[in-house]
A = this chain, B = another copy of it.
Amino acid sequence: MSSHPVVALTSPSSWALVEDKFSPFAKETLAKLITFVQEECIPAARVAHAQLPTEYERRWKTVIPIIEELKVKAKKLGLWNLFLSKAHYPEYGVPLTNLEYAVMAEVLGRGGHMASEAVNCAAPDTGNMEVLARYGSAEQKKKWLVPLLNGEIRSSFSMTERFVASSDATNIRTSIRREGNEIVINGHKWWISGAGDIRNRLHLVMGKSDASNPDTHAQQSIVIVPSDAPGVKIIRPMTVFGYDDAPEGHCEVIYENVRVPLSNLVLGWGKGFEIIQGRLGPGRIHHCMRSIGMAQMALDLMIQRVTDPTRKTFGKYLFEHGTVVADIAQSRAEIEGARLLVYSAALQIDKFKAKGALKEIGIAKFVVPSMALQVVDRAIQAFGAEGVSQDQFLASAWAGLRTLRLADGPDAVHIQQIGQRELKRAAALTKQAAETKKKENLLMEKNGFKAQL
């Protein structure tokens, strides 16, 4: 394994910690994936960029040819839907554990958004496929899941709302109501990733079907809305810093009296909250590992830049500055620690499902993006103005990573939740401390000293 370029170049020691938990199939797949990303995806990035028109209108009508070519290659290589664990989805899944896929997700992160799409492991499709595979009806699976698994169509998850603090899902206002054999949807969403893509065929829309239910977690339902249903209005793409992320986009979307058949309800009335709970755990780990891949890539670029023999300032090469060397050491250490935290969370999911790994997932969720942002920021600084420009992947990587501190719950929410979970250890700790105190006092008296209160 250590002969594979990425692993050998980066962290043999973290690999040593998990190697014996990898199946032969996983090792082989990882090796193929490393080669595919390095040899095929990374060199294709500039072409993909060139194939995206600068003209505004045409940007949103483009299917980038080279990505479609990569998809064909990946499928042939068996590098497809790797995110979908057979253990949880026996019918569709790939025999990989969460830990095994986590290591692969870092490799995908090195290849940017494109590599993930090439192997059909790109958000938000991944989460949507999980939802449909777990909760979809036979008809829903046939109609939506199969083409998604085949990479023929794309999809959106439509949850975040404008004018609403929707990081708390109980605040959602979109209305989903039954009218005869139909469901009528009205709502104002934004940041709907992928909604600008002409390949998009469906939105999984979260809304309130029973707003007065005293159980605030039973008010929500999720409905499949075809992208071309009358009343689905794509208002505009939101920009992330200055990026519009065409041709997929993160769009403002209004659902105005959109009507779908009853059979488009997912799982059942009032099951919206349950569905999103199940959707989140592993997806967060994937995001984290891709982020680590991006951080590692940034560090690798930084190392190349500071050793570039043509870059000498004030009589010194960049790598001769102690502060530059320190930045590199810090970055290495931070990436390493974060990587191990995510491995640990992934293993925890494998052992106890997402529910039994909430603390580990939460820690990874708030630690990794901040870490990666810092590493990328240092790399930007090493590159000078070029670092903030379109000529390096650093600035767009930074922008993408920055949204991860907000998406799927802002840092503060996760930090508070982890803190609350830690606080649950208080009772056991206090009990133990009382026992220790008792023993301590016995020992004090036995040794001729006064016991304490």
What does the 1/0 interface line of A340-362 toward B look like (CB < 8 Å)?
A: 11011101100100000101100
Closest residue of chain B to A16, judged by CB?
B347
Stretch at the interface among A147-155, A227-235, A396-404: A396-404
Asked, given contacts A167-B384, A323-B326, whether A50 binds B300 with beta carbons under 8 Å apart, the answer is: no
**Docked CA distance A406–B392 (Å):** 15
What are the residues of chain B within 8 A of A419 when measuring CB–CB?
324-329, 332
What does the 1/0 interface line of A1-42 toward B look like (CB < 8 Å)?
A: 000010001001110111011000000000000000011001
What are the residues of chain B within 8 A of A239 when measuring CB–CB?
242, 389-390, 395
**Docked CA distance A323–B351 (Å):** 32
A198 at the interface (CB under 8 A from B): no
B432 touching A312 by the CB < 8 A rule?
no
What does the 1/0 interface line of A33-55 toward B look like (CB < 8 Å)?
A: 00000110011111100110011
What are the residues of chain B within 8 A of A380 when measuring CB–CB?
402, 406
Total count of chain A residues near the partner, CB < 8 A: 129
Q: Which of B51, B240, B360, B433 contacts A13 (CB 8 A)?
A: B360
Give me the interface of A with B, judged by CB distance under 8 Å.
5, 9, 12-14, 16-18, 20-21, 38-39, 42-47, 50-51, 54-56, 65-66, 160, 163-165, 167-168, 171, 190-191, 238-244, 299-300, 303-304, 306-307, 310-314, 318-319, 321-330, 332-333, 336-338, 340-341, 343-345, 347-348, 351, 357, 359-360, 363, 366-367, 380-381, 384-385, 387-391, 395-396, 398-399, 402-403, 405-407, 410-413, 415-420, 422-423, 425-426, 428-430, 432-433, 436, 439-440, 442-444, 447, 449, 452
